[in-house]
Structure formats: structure tokens, C-alpha cells
Amino acid sequence: MLNVQAVRRDFPFIRPGRVYLDSASTSLTPEPVLAKMLEYYREYRANVGRGVYTSSRRATEEFEAARKTLARLINAKPGEIVFVRNTSEAMNLVASGLGLRSGDKVVTTIQEHHSNYIIWLREKARKRIDLRVIGADASGDLNLPDMQREIEKGAKLVSVTHVSNVLGVKNPVEEIGKICRENGALLLIDGAQSVPHMRIDVKRIGCDFLAFSGHKMCGPTGVGALYIREDLQGDLEPLCIGGGSIEDVGVDYYTLRGGPYRFEAGTPAIAEVIGIGAAAEYLMDIGMENIEAHEADLTREILEGIQGDRRVKVYGSLDSGRRNGIISFNVDGMDPHDVAIALESAAGIMVRSGHHCALPLMKEVLKIGSGSVRASLYLYNTKSEVRTFVETISKISESAKGSTA
């Protein structure tokens, strides 16, 4: 069981008057992660893989230890973890590095964050790939029969989010992975909203690529990771090459290193990589199952608290077991930005408002051009905060009702 009060003591941002419900955008960072990053700057500030002196060796050891920790987090091999800036860069690496050609079929969905959508639109414009977009209903259910048909007709790659950053719905990635394996299609998973919140096993999912970001999992900004199945790495072209990615160079040739290093040209974000490793260790020490159960409990309480208000429209399934701690909603007669401002003014509650980088879903499925309000939970949120949120939404809704009467 998660001891939320003990967890909260690790987060300096948390203080009276602040209720942070925007972790789907970016999470808070605990003291152990900050301390580990400061340790690098204070104790062994040197480049990695560049020197034989003690500080450089220590920096390299800590950097590679972070790679091993992230591998444990998702049940991968250390050599299958590539460090990138964020989920967006990771998916761009796959999109540009696969060497897609005219006619190659890529399957994605209407649920996707822009980072897993516009990259395929660009490949369609550049290389005339055959892009297929699978629909979903307002509850978040993907049209899996359509997806299966498209995969069976010769898809080269399927690229899908594990958890919708708008609806919070958990997509059946294991089932999708099985269909891909049976038909020789590659599978890329956007894990930005899943890796921080639940136990992930890339072997069980059967994916070939998995992308996620440090700043959504209690780590620093500017660092993320891409899982690339070991046997695929030699076939994927790096986004950039240079120092650190080179095995040999002559006057008229070069040879890239093997493993993840071929994708990690230049001096990396060393402190940030060490930080994401510390964040992964922090989450695993608490227990991913404990985090998931805690969020499910809070999500259920929010849904039960607000769905009885007819002026509050909740998007996605109302079954808390089918989603994680992301709740998108609107208050009838109010702009979502005004609701967000009212929440902070009334009770110090911080939420996201707008399109959440998912305009196709907003426009084509949910039919809400103005966007929505989004509250998102994490391990440091409490039942008291949830009750404050529900009570404040009720007051805002009642106020909106009075102003339009």
C-alpha cells in the first residue's frame, strides 16, 4: 500500500494552498532525484565515455547505471534503452529511421497525441506512405476490427498510444501486439502516459519500440528513453551522428557503433539521465502496482463525485477500471480556460485546459472545438485533494448555472 503522506514529504513543490492536478502534462520531482542530480554536479562533474580519470569514470558508471535501471523498469535489456530528449524525439527517431518508402502502410489512431500523429502526416507528404487512421468512439474504444484488417493487409508499422492523454483510456496493447506479430508488422508504443503509472513489460506487450519521457515520471525535463528491440537496432538510421556514436572514421568513410550508442551522438544530458534513472528507482521502490492502485482509487472517487452533476460533461469511459488518473471534462456554458482559472482562484487547484495536443480526437470524435479541462492524478495526490476538487467543481458549476439562468 502506498503511504501518500510519506511520499508527499519528498516533493518540495507541495505546500499548503497548492493542489497539483496536472501530472499528465509534467510531474513533480522528489528530493531524492534532485539530490542525485546535484551529486553529479558537485562530486563528479565530467563528461561520459571521454576520460580515464576518476570523475569521468564515475560519471560514465552512473550514466550506464541509469540505463540498467530503466531497463528493469520496463523489463528490457540495458542495450535496448536509448536516451533521447523526450517521447516526441523518440518517435521521430523511429519515423525517420525506418527508411519508409512509397506505399509502405503505417497504422495509427485518432486518439494520438500530436507527437504520434503529425510525424506520420509528414512521412505521408514526404514519401507517400499509405497512412491509415483507426477510429474510436467517445468512450475511447478503438475500432479493433478495423485495425486488425489493416494490419492483416500488410502494415509495416503500427503506432499507438498505450494510454490516451485526453480520455485516460488504456488501450489493449497486448492484443494489438499479438496481431502485429502474427502479421509481421512492427509495433511502436507511446508510453508517455503509461510508463510512469503502471507496471510495463515490453516482452509481454510484444512491442518493438516504446517511447517515454522523464519529466512525466518524477524525473527532470529534457530527457526520455526509447526502447528499441535489440535485433532491430542495426536497421534503424540515427537522427544524428557524431562524437560518441562513431566506431571508426577515415578520410572517406565512417562506421557507427553498435547498440544504443549509435543513436546517442554528442555529449548527452548527463545529469538528466542520472535523474531519470533515480526517478525510475524511486517509483520502483514505491511499487508500480501500489501507484496504479492509488491512482485508481482517486480516479473512482472523482468520477463518482462529478458525474452526478448534469452540467459537468466527462469525456471517456466512466468505468474507472478502464482508465488511469486522467479526467477530461467541461462545465456547461463555460470556456475550459475559465474553469481552470476558477479552480486555481478558488482553491489553488492546478489543471490543464485546451486541446491537450490532440486536435484530431477533439474535433472528429469528441466534437469540442474549444477543448476541455483536464485533471490528472499521480502518486502524491490525496483523497482530501480529490474532495476539494469535486467540491470546487460543484461550486463552479452552480455559479455557471446561476449566471445563465
Question: Active-site positions?
Answer: 357
* Dist. CA 71–CA 223, nearest whole Å: 15
Amino acid at 387: R
Helix (H, G, I), strand (E, B) or coil at 349: strand
Asked if 85 contacts 68 with a C-beta cutoff of 8 angstroms, the reply is no
Asked if 109 contacts 169 with a C-beta cutoff of 8 angstroms, the reply is no
* Dist. CA 396–CA 382, nearest whole Å: 21
Radius of gyration of the chain (CA): 22
Amino acid at 250: G
* Dist. CA 338–CA 398, nearest whole Å: 14
Amino acid at 300: R
Pairing of strands 372-376, 326-331: antiparallel
Cα dist from 343 to 131, 351, 374, 390, whole Å = 40, 8, 12, 10
DSSP symbols for 90-126: HHHHHHHHS---TT-EEEEETT--GGGTHHHHHHHHH
